[in-house]
Chain A
Amino acid sequence: MQSNAALEYDYSVAKLFTYTAILFGILGMTIGTLIASQMAFPELNYLFGEYGTFSRLRPVHTTVVVYGFTLSGVWATFYYLGQRVLKVSMAESKFLMFIGKLHFWLYFVGALVATISLLMGITQAKEYAQYEWPIDIVIVIIWVLWGISIFGIIGIRREKSLYISLWYYIACFLGVAMLYLFNNMAVPTYFVSGMGSILHSVSMYSGTNDALVQWWWGHNAVAFVFTVPIVAMIYYFLPKESGQAIYSYKLSLLSFWGLMFVYLWAGSHHLLYSTVPDWMQTMGSIFSVVLILPSWGSAINMLLTMKGEWNQLTENPLIKFMVLASTFYMLSTLEGPIQAIKSVNAIAHFTDWIPGHVHDGVLGWVVFMVMAGLFHMAPRMFKREIYSKKLLEAQFWLQTTAVVLYFTSMWIAGITQGMMWRAVDEYGNLMYSFIDTVAVLHPYYAIRALSGVLYLVGFLMFAYNMIKTMSSSRELTEEPQFRSPMA
């Protein structure tokens, strides 16, 4: 067996995905900030004619951050750490290098086209599955290419047993593959009728069935894009950056298999009090509560990995990012299950409390982890130290403030709105007209818009720091073992 140092890992694909993570991150969050501002100040709807309305932009925001930013992050980290925990370099296989690059370029071009298609209003109108069928086909090909990369590199590995992170990447691959295929099944109308737009299609399922399939996917898009591969990241980057061993194998094991089994049942918590059968709703509700523990298992495992390492927490901003990410992960995986309790969902569903829950997960957990991972990778990929620690620290506090503002404002807005919708006056008549419940939210929408600006500025600081690190920071002669060097 070769030693680590003797191996030259090839990071060319990881670097490419790093660039797109930065690019799509900026794009997605700029649009996020714009739509947040539109909810507070509706005049902003008219910046780009029909392409600038809140409704056209909202799906662009969600898909760019999910499929652009997050998946780029997932793949950048996979192409980086996959090689390392398997002790094999991509450069050892011309085939894998080719597949990796093809994976990237097809993805990049596909993502641009897909984004434009949504702006033009070409959409299936199912959340997180908006792209029309030709793009879906490209996505399937991209996914298969990633599969070839994963199993290809595993095929030539030197380290026999798979590291925990790889369990999660494999699960991400399989889960998304299965669910995406099912949910996007559609019949292109042109091929049946011979007329009309060639891009248009109709869903294979109708009504309540369509809803079930959609949220079986929708919920698990959260599970297999926002959770599973992010857990993969923290299991590698936190112990690696801190030099600490994982606290407990047993806890890793139970959390993983528990998460796999339980997550899939919970989709119907998006359909409580809808027209799906009562027993399915109950299943979704119960499994969501059970889900707290497998979710918290990973988070606790990470926090315990840092036992006794308080000084690292205070001195190393990357550790700060990751510990806080764990904490936000705990917050959203407790908040989600509680929102899945029927009585609570009666109020929470359809309100701003849901986007609140979404963003303490994505901003506090997903983005924090992706950024921490990329920061850890940068000195090793570009052989330069991180450009500025000060900037990193400032970014950390700015973005933490932003997340707190985001979720506290939406939490209050959502609960207030949910309760106002059901409030009755002394005569038993509805107390508030719908518009009353909109008008009262203005201050919270304004706070959320502000938090968007702060978070976006933080992300731009990250981008700047990364670009400087790539181009002009002090060069390193030797790869750092654990803690990432920073100026």
Chain B
Amino acid sequence: MNALMIKGLLFAAVLIGATIAVVKSMNIDLSDPINLITMIGAVAIAVLTVGVSIKYINQMKTDKAEGELADENWDGIGEYKNELPAGWAYSFLGTLIWAVWYWFVGYPLNAFSQIGQYNEEVLAYNEKFEEVHKNATPEILKEMGESIFLVQCAPCHGETGDGLSGKAQDFTAGRESKEQVLDIIKNGSDQLKYPMGAMPGGMAQGADAEAIAEYVAGGMKGEQPASFGVCAGCHGADGKGNGGTAPNIVEYDQTLVEHVLENGRKGAIGIMPSFKGRLTPVQQKALATYLGSLK
């Protein structure tokens, strides 16, 4: 091997090494077959290109041009009648044979279905998932919830769950804000599909409404205003939703999160989209656990 070849392969090695280092630094599993095949492909590109082109460039140093010239000559350019380079010819033949094999034997054209492959992938995953999370602890649920939250919810609620200064629900400041509660008292609500059905608007006015809102937004601490009685009928004296018949208005519990994810919600802040069918029950539970931990 000469210096040029060594330099070339060194370059290829550095490139591959850097790629693997960066990929690894993102916690990526290189034993995943797709990732693995891609890395092998990348190695092949670098090594083959460098190797083969340097092989020919080396011939510029060592070989001499020779052969029988053709009769024609175009603007001073001649042409030898040399045979095909053997490596090239056999590789060409090889790829052709491989192609025919692929079509008729390996992966016959009519026998592969990408949707079939997808279904298998999902099935295998779901089995594994059930297996692993049969009895997940709250800590695990919280961690899992956080990871789902960062991917699915953070674009609106922010990475910390603070609602991006009023663009969505702020989970770090307890349940509903005073404005939200006032809005609901005024307009009522009929979106979440609780057993209790709709909440009518206008059940409290003026100073009463203010007092209730203050109290609810404050997490229902301290002295309960007398006017809260009207709310307690549905939400319970403790505000926890009467065993799931109306929303919990003091904290994010699992029932609430499930209802919100199923139906979405439009309120004083804006619109929360429905995630119907996009998250599994375990994932919803995990989200509820995580949201509960944010305040």
A-to-B contact residues, CB < 8 Å: 4, 81, 84-85, 87, 159, 161, 163, 236, 239-240, 243-252, 254, 258, 273, 278-279, 281-283, 286-287, 289-290, 292-294, 296-297, 299-300, 303-310, 313, 323, 326-327, 330-331, 334-335, 338-339, 341, 343-344, 346-348, 408, 411-412, 415-416, 418-420, 422-423, 425, 427-435, 440, 481-482
Instruction: Write out the residue numbers on chain A whose beta carbons fall within 8 Å of the beta carbon of B92.
Output: 254, 258, 293-294, 297
CB-CB contacts below 8 Å: B87-146 with A: 88, 91-92, 95-96, 98-99, 102-103, 107, 109-110, 112-114, 125, 128-129, 132-133, 140, 143-144
Collect the chain A residues with CB atoms within 8 Å of residue B72's CB.
Answer: 159, 161, 163
A341 to B81, CA, bound (A): 35
Provide 19 A-B residue pairs closer than 8 Å at the C-beta atoms, listed in order of the A residue: A84-B75, A159-B72, A246-B79, A248-B79, A251-B88, A258-B92, A273-B114, A281-B114, A289-B99, A307-B65, A327-B53, A338-B45, A343-B38, A415-B19, A422-B32, A427-B143, A427-B147, A432-B151, A482-B76
B112 touches A282 (CB 8 A): yes
In the bound assembly, the distance between CA atoms of A307 and B82 in angstroms comes to: 13
**In contact, A308 and B56 (Cβ under 8 angstroms):** no
Contact between B76 and A278 (Cβ–Cβ < 8 Å)?
no
Q: B13 an interface residue at 8 Å Cβ cutoff?
A: no
B77 to chain A: which residues have CB within 8 Å? Answer: 85, 163, 236, 239-240, 245-246
The answer to whether A246 touches B48, judged by C-beta atoms less than 8 angstroms apart, is: no
B230 at the interface (CB under 8 A from A): no
CB distance from A345 to the nearest CB of B (A): 9
Among B29-73, those with CB < 8 Å from A are 29, 32-35, 37-39, 41-42, 44-45, 48-49, 52-53, 56-57, 59-65, 67, 69-70, 72
Instruction: Please tell me which one of the listed residues A246, A313, A348, A430 contacts residue B78 in the complex, with CB atoms under 8 A apart.
Output: A246
B contact patch SS: helix
Smallest CB separation, B192 vs chain A (Å): 25
**A317, B160: Cα distance in complex, Å:** 57
**Distance of A414 from chain B, by nearest CB (Å):** 10
Q: Which residues of B contact A420 (CB under 8 A)?
A: 26, 28
Say yes or no: A286 contacts B88, CB within 8 Å: no
Residues of A with C-beta under 8 A to B184:
none
CA distance A304 to B128 in the complex (A): 56
CB-CB < 8 A to A244: which residues of B?
65
Given known contacts A248-B84, A331-B45, A347 and B35 CB-to-CB distance under 8 angstroms? yes
Q: Is the CB of A245 within 8 A of B69?
A: yes
Residue of B29, B83, B150 touching A433 (CB-CB under 8 A): B150
In the complex, the chain B residue whose C-beta lies closest to that of A443 is B22
Most chain B beta carbons < 10 A, residue from A304, A306, A435: A304
Alpha-carbon separation in the docked complex, A169 to B64 (Å): 31
Tell me the smallest distance from the CB of A185 to a CB of chain B, in Å.
Answer: 29
- Contact call B125/A428, Cβ cutoff below 8 A: yes
Q: Are the CB atoms of A306 and B60 closer together than 8 Å?
A: yes
The answer to whether A310 touches B85, judged by C-beta atoms less than 8 angstroms apart, is no
Is the beta-carbon distance between A248 and B70 smaller than 8 angstroms? no
Residue from B59, B63, B85 with most neighbouring chain A CB atoms (10 Å): B85
| Contact yes or no, B57 A303, CB < 8 A | yes
Point out the residues of chain A lying under 8 angstroms from B144, CB to CB. Answer: 427, 429
Chain A nearest Cβ from B43, distance in angstroms: 10
Question: Does the CB pair B53–A330 fall under 8 Å?
Answer: yes
Interface residues on B, range: 35 or more
Given A159-B74, A249-B70, A429-B151, check contact A292 B95 (CB 8 Å): yes
A200→B16 CA distance, assembly (Å): 47
* Residue numbers in A under 8 Å from B133 (CB-CB): 427
Nearest-CB distance from B154 to chain A (Å)?
6
B245 close to chain A: CB less than 8 A: no
Least distance between B102 CB and chain A CB atoms (Å): 6
Q: Identify whether the interface residues of A are mostly helix, strand, loop, or mixed.
A: helix
Q: Are B56 and A300 in contact (CB under 8 A)?
A: yes
Q: Cβ of A247 and Cβ of B60 under 8 Å apart?
A: no
Interchain CB contact under 8 A, B45 and A415: no
Instruction: Beyond A307-B63, A310-B60, list 14 extra A-B contacts (CB 8 Å).
Output: A84-B75, A240-B76, A247-B65, A247-B67, A251-B88, A258-B92, A289-B95, A303-B56, A304-B59, A307-B60, A416-B19, A419-B26, A427-B132, A433-B155
B165 is an interface residue with CB less than 8 A from chain A: no
Q: How far is the CA of A283 from the CA of B42 in the complex (A)?
A: 22
In the complex, chain A residues whose CB is within 8 Å of the CB of B85:
248, 251, 300, 304
Q: How far is the CA of A433 from the CA of B155 in the complex (A)?
A: 9
Chain A residues whose CB sits within 8 angstroms of the CB of B35 once the complex forms: 347, 419, 422
A307-B84 contact in complex given A282-B112, A289-B99, A326-B53, C-beta closer than 8 Å: no
Q: Once bound together, how far apart are the Cα atoms of A381 and B271, in whole Å?
A: 68
Question: Chain B residues near A481 (CB, 8 Å)?
Answer: 76
Q: How far is the CA of A87 from the CA of B84 in the complex (A)?
A: 29
Instruction: Say yes or no: B76 contacts A286, CB within 8 Å.
Output: no
Complex CA–CA separation, A338 to B99 (angstroms):
14
Minimum Cβ distance to chain A for residue B47 (Å): 10
B110 A279 Cβ-Cβ under 8 A: yes
Which residues of B181-233 are within 8 A (CB) of A?
none
Q: Lowest 10 CB-CB distances: which A-B pairs, in order?
A: A245-B78, A303-B56, A293-B92, A248-B82, A163-B74, A84-B75, A85-B74, A343-B37, A246-B79, A338-B41
Residues in chain A near residue B5, CB distance under 8 A: none
